[in-house]
Amino acid sequence: MSKEKPSRRAFLENATAAAAGFAIFPHSLRSRSLGTNPVRAVAQAGTPRALSTITVDLGAKPILFDPDQALGSSMDILPHDVVDKIYTPEMVKQCLSAGWGPITYRQNTELSIGAWHWNPAGAWSDAANKRGYFTGRAELGEPIRHSFGYPLPHRGTTRNGGSEHGFSRITDGDASTYWKSNPYLAAKFTGEAESAHPQWIVLDLGSTEPLSHVRIDWADPYAVNYEVQYWTGEHPMDKPIAGIWTTFPHGIVTGARGGRQMLKLAGTPLPVRFLRLWMTASSNTPAPGHDPADPRSSVGYAIREMSAGTLTDGGEFVDLVQHRPDQNQTATYCSSIDPWHTESDLDMHGDQTGFDLFFTSGITNNLPAMIPIAMLYGTPEDAAAQISYLKKRGYAISYVEMGEEPDGQNMLPEDYAALYLQFATAMHRVDLNLKLGGPVFEGVNEDIKVWPDEQGRTSWLGRFVDYLKERSRIHDLAFVSFEHYPFPPCDTVWADLYREPQVVSHILEVWRQDGLPENIPLMNTESNVTYNNAEEMVDIFAALWLCDSVGAFLTAGGAAYYHSPIQPEPLRPGCHGFGTYGNYVADENLKIHAFTCQYYASRLINLEWVQHRAGAHKLYPAACDLKDAAGHTLITAYAVIRPNQSWSLMLINKDQTNAHEVRLGPGGRQGFTNPTTQISYGSEQYMWREAGANGRPEPGDPPVVKSLSAGAQAVLLPKASITILRGKVAG
């Protein structure tokens, strides 16, 4: 984003010429599209058009929301040595001081392709060898303070949306290791034909190469029926509908045997970069090293190593695949992974806060918390045990998120849905009233697309919803959740602020268009400006974005907005300088030296705009017609009636250069009665000074609070600022 400083122009002396009128009018608003041309700054905004009006549509049906349910924060995985620093009474009190209500517990081990032992105590399915499928103990014992992940030894993905470390076992060069698919997607567990959940491997050669042969070293269970296909188009994982899979001329295999198989796919080599193995029938033979008495051992598919290339004139195989146990291997992607693992797979670098510490520390703010279960790499039995444990402890649960970012981990919607229903059945046996949901989509701004199914459907959410509806199980979906990281790091510009309301309303509309019933709420369960650390996170841009994002989300009909994260963290290097996701400027020991602009923005939202612990608020649509020369809406407005019947307006002036005045209209229903409180915060109170790990805000002042005098006709909205106006309305 822009490093250009706002100019220090004096405020216009002639208030009348520069004034923007304020009124509450009982008529509908006309929609206005936002400008989308990115610019580094809006220095050309100039003198605003006179008599612009902020309009609140009292004729619209108000949106009802309770901040204690709708406005929260999150706790994610932490470094192991940080947990004890965060969960102290003093630190918890500081975290809660930002004002957010409920909290959501983020599940990170699945992003690292690991099984989660939410309870370190439990039982292995193969107890004698301490391996297999682990079920946490539901009985109460010592309070759980720490929990960890176990990277999966049967991994088949080199990298995905959550993991850029570790490696796939399909191209690691080690014949003793192998990939195995998730047994819970086999017919024995889904109750459906094996072909209803084909499992697949995609191999990326890195560049287009001549290819005529493939060599597959199968483990057990192996594929009896499968196809080998090649892709024509853009990247099949990033752009799944911008191309097509075509079966090789000799790529259909039926009645196959296991072991090492060399297949001639075409008479002459074809230009290929991406290769897909599409498996539809299993041998159902027990996997090596697994307990043969466990039915999960003998279902699905397993591959030790995979190669692709051509033959020389002398018949020698030329392998185009890099077989390495690291990220430099030829990349593979897979449909699913068996959650089987061993005691020695433990990884203690990332610490998922133990549930007892989480619920007793005070971080839940004495409100029901949203908690996750591990689903992509877990078992229904373990999820049910987790719920049973939490119920025995008497902890208050609001919602349960099922799995983590299946779209980013390239899972097809039908596979996610099949797991979802098995896990829902298991957990509802423990508590029929649990509110379950997902899929916890990655932070995206558009509909999530997947390879077409037999009916040509490409919408991920649409196909997931259809799967539940077709089985009369849509009632098991209590909410749909997604993450919101709208802008790519390093490329964010000031003009992106103008796009945020449109981005938010658009994605909510997209999910509804996918067929999501209106009675199923949409929740943004993890959010910030961008998904990677960047200087934008500590710029005043981030404060304006946060207030606008919250207001726009609720106005568009979103049910719950969770800002991330709640805890402090050290400054870290980003694209253009050091920054932090958190609300605090902290050192390596998490000692807080200052507050970021998002801390003050959080307090404006939670302590000034709305009123926690008070009940339902009424939100009315509001808008301002003040635009710059490029057509950008410079001021956005969000109007609520608080439970005490006072009006509270959150006004965001996105003009970097100019202050704008909002003139209070005459009496009646067109203006506030006195006294009226004004709280303003913006670039005059906060400016980030880049100094590497010693970066800090200068100035770093709190918001300015004042009471408007009797008869006041105008309110000044400082440049690049958030202003809260709160008081009674006449009439």
Query: 625: which residues sit within 8 A by CB, 6+ positions away?
Result: 32, 52, 53, 55, 633
Alpha carbon distances (Å) from 325 to 134, 158, 166, 170, 330? 26, 10, 8, 10, 10
CA distance 420 to 404: 12
The reply to whether 352 falls in a domain is no
Q: Which residues are CB-contacts of 232 (< 8 A; sequence separation ≥ 6)?
A: 243, 244, 246
**pLDDT > 70: percent of the chain:** 90
Task: Please identify, among 338, 367, 392, the residue that sits at the C-terminal boundary of a domain.
Answer: 338
pLDDT at 534 over 90: no
Q: How far apart are CA 218 and CA 220, in angstroms?
A: 7
pLDDT over 90 (residue 671): no
- Single-letter residue type at 431: D
Instruction: State the DSSP code for 143.
Output: P
674 pLDDT more than 90? no
- The model's pTM is 0.92
Per-residue pLDDT, 515: 97
Is residue 412 within 8 A of residue 466, CB to CB? The reply is no
Q: Which amino acid is at 484?
A: H
Same domain flag for 94 and 190: no
Is the link from the previous residue into 486 a cis peptide, with omega within 30 of 0? no
pLDDT digits (tens, 9 = 90+) for 172-201: 999 999 999 999 999 999 999 999 999 999
Is 220 inside any structural domain?
Answer: yes
Single-letter amino acid code for the residue at 221? P
Total domains present in the chain: 3
DSSP strand pairing (397-402 vs 436-441):
parallel
Whether the pLDDT of residue 5 is over 80: the answer is no
pLDDT recorded at residue 26: 33
Four-residue CA torsion sign, 719, 725, 730, 731: positive
Q: Is the pLDDT of residue 584 over 80?
A: yes
**Binning pLDDT at 50, 70 and 90, where does residue 218 land?**
very high
| DSSP-based three-state secondary structure for 82 | helix
3-state secondary structure of 77: coil
Question: Scanning the structure block, which residue is given the tokens 């909205």?
Answer: 717
432 and 371 in one domain? Answer: yes
Q: Are 659 and 45 in contact (CB under 8 A)?
A: no
188 and 308 belong to one structural domain? yes
Could you give the CA distance from residue 662 to residue 714 in angstroms, rounded to a whole number? 5
221, 287 Cβ separation under 8 angstroms: yes
pLDDT category, 710, cuts 50, 70, 90? Answer: low
Q: What is the pLDDT of residues 60-118, one digit of tens each?
A: 999 999 999 999 999 999 999 999 999 999 999 999 999 999 999 999 999 999 999 99
Q: Is residue 7 over pLDDT 50? A: no
With DSSP H G I counted as helix, E B as strand and the rest as coil, what are the percentages for the chain, rounded to 5?
A: 20, 35, 45
| Mean pLDDT value across residues 689-705 | 94
Q: What is the CATH number of the domain that holds 366?
A: 3.20.20.80
Q: Which residues contact 231 (CB under 8 A, 6 or more apart)?
A: 243, 244, 245, 246, 272, 273, 274, 275, 276
Name 464's Cβ contacts closer than 8 Å, sequence gap at least 6. 413, 414, 416, 417, 420, 439
Say which residue the tokens 């196909």 belong to.
Answer: 463
- 57 belongs to a structural domain: yes
- Residue 673: the pLDDT is 64
pLDDT mean across residues, the chain? 90
Name the strands in the sheet holding 131-136, side by side, starting at the edge strand that comes first in the sequence: 122-126, 131-136, 341-342
Would you say residue 265 lies in a domain? Answer: yes
Whether the CB-CB separation of 71 and 561 falls below 8 Å is answered with yes
Residue 81, token pair as written in the block: 């040595």
Q: In a 3-state reduction of DSSP, which class is residue 582?
A: coil
Residue 147: strand pairing partners: 352
Q: Are strands 122-126 and 131-136 parallel, antiparallel or unpaired?
A: antiparallel
How crowded is the C-beta side of 692, counted as CA atoms within 13 Å?
0
pLDDT of the residue at 672? 65
Read off the amino acid at residue 7: S
Q: For residue 661, name the pLDDT band (cuts at 50, 70, 90).
A: confident
What CATH number is given to the structural domain containing 657? 2.60.40.1180
User: What is the mean predicted confidence (pLDDT) over 350-366?
Assistant: 98
- How far is the C-alpha of 544 from the C-alpha of 660, rounded, in Å? 16
The pLDDT confidence band at residue 708, using thresholds 50, 70 and 90, is confident
Tokens of 94: 């500081």
The whole-angstrom separation of Cα 562 and Cα 692 is 29
Residue 23: the pLDDT is: 42
Could you tell me if residue 127 is inside a domain? no
Among all chains, which residue has been given the structure tokens 């020389």? 312
- Please check whether residue 573 lies inside any domain of the structure: no
Query: Looking at per-residue confidence, does 243 or 666 come out higher?
Result: 243
Residues 328 and 216 reside in one and the same domain? yes
Peptide bond into 489 cis (omega under 30): no
- Class of residue 164 by CB neighbours under 10 A (exposed 0-12, middle 13-18, buried 19+): exposed
For residue 432, what are the contacts with CB-CB under 8 A and spacing of at least 6?
A: none
Q: Are 313 and 186 in a shared domain? A: yes
- The answer, yes or no, to whether residue 209 has pLDDT greater than 60, is yes
- The answer to whether residues 690 and 563 belong to one domain is no
Above 50 in pLDDT, residue 15?
A: no
Tokens matching residue 508: 């909510």
370 falls within a domain: yes
The CATH number of the domain where 260 resides is what?
2.60.120.260
Is pLDDT above 90 for 353? yes
DSSP 376: T
Do 252 and 314 have their domain in common?
A: yes
Taking alpha carbons only, the member of 681, 680, 674, 677 closest to residue 726 is: 677
Residues 437 and 512 in one domain: yes
For the cut 70, the answer to whether the pLDDT of residue 681 exceeds it is yes
For residue 576, the SS3 value is coil
pLDDT at 6 over 80: no
Q: Tokens 């620093």 label which residue?
A: 85
Q: 91 in helix, strand or coil?
A: helix
Taking alpha carbons only, the member of 720, 721, 692, 722 closest to residue 5 is 720
Q: Any idea which of 33-47, 487-501, 645-659 has the lowest mean pLDDT?
A: 33-47
Across the chain, which distance is largest between two alpha carbons, in Å? 97
Of 94-98, 554-558, 577-581, least confident by mean pLDDT is: 577-581
| Phi, psi of 29, deg, nearest 5 | -95, 145
**399, 518: one domain:** yes
- Give the list of residues 6+ apart from residue 472 with CB closer than 8 angstroms, or none: none
The model's pLDDT over 364-418, given as tens digits with 9 standing for 90+, comes to 999 999 999 999 999 999 999 999 999 999 999 999 999 999 999 999 999 999 9
Q: How far is CA 549 from CA 505, 649, 688, in A?
A: 10, 15, 21
The string of DSSP codes covering 584-651 is: EEE-TT--EEEE-HHHHHHHIIIIIIS-TTS--EEEE-EEE--B-TT--B-EEEEEEE-TTS-EEEEE
Q: What's the pLDDT score for residue 9?
A: 25
Provide the domain limits for residue 512: 79-109+357-531+546-567
pLDDT of residue 370: 98
CA dihedral for 575, 580, 585, 587, sign (positive or negative): negative
Residue 666 pLDDT > 50: no
446 and 523 belong to one structural domain: yes
Residues 99 and 184 in one domain: no
CA 449 to chain centre: 16
Backbone dihedral angles phi then psi of residue 183, each to the nearest 5 degrees: -65, -25
Residue 28: the pLDDT is 28
> Taking the alpha carbons of 265, 271, 275, 281 in that order, is the dihedral positive or negative?
negative
Mean pLDDT of 6-35: 28
- pLDDT tens digits for 244-278? 999 999 999 999 999 999 999 999 999 999 999 99
What distances in angstroms separate CA 263 from CA 230, 270, 276, 447, 526, one per listed residue? 14, 14, 14, 38, 46
Per the domain annotation, does 455 fall within a domain? yes
Say if CB 377 and CB 115 are below 8 A apart.
yes
**Same domain for 507 and 393:** yes
Could you tell me which of 566, 473, 502 has the C-alpha nearest to residue 105? 566
pLDDT digits (tens, 9 = 90+) for 600-657: 999 999 999 999 999 999 999 998 888 999 999 999 999 999 999 999 999 999 999 9
Residue of 247, 254, 250 whose CA lies nearest to 265: 250
Lowest-confidence region among 87-96, 158-167, 299-308, 719-728: 158-167
Contact indicator for 370, 103 with CB cutoff of 8 Å:
yes
Reading phi first (left if > 0) and then psi (alpha if -120 to 50, else beta), residue 439 is in: alpha
Strand-pairing partners, residue 373, are 402
pLDDT the model gives residue 170:
98
Cα–Cα distances (Å) from 657 to 3, 362, 634, 680, 701, in that order, read 13, 42, 11, 16, 20
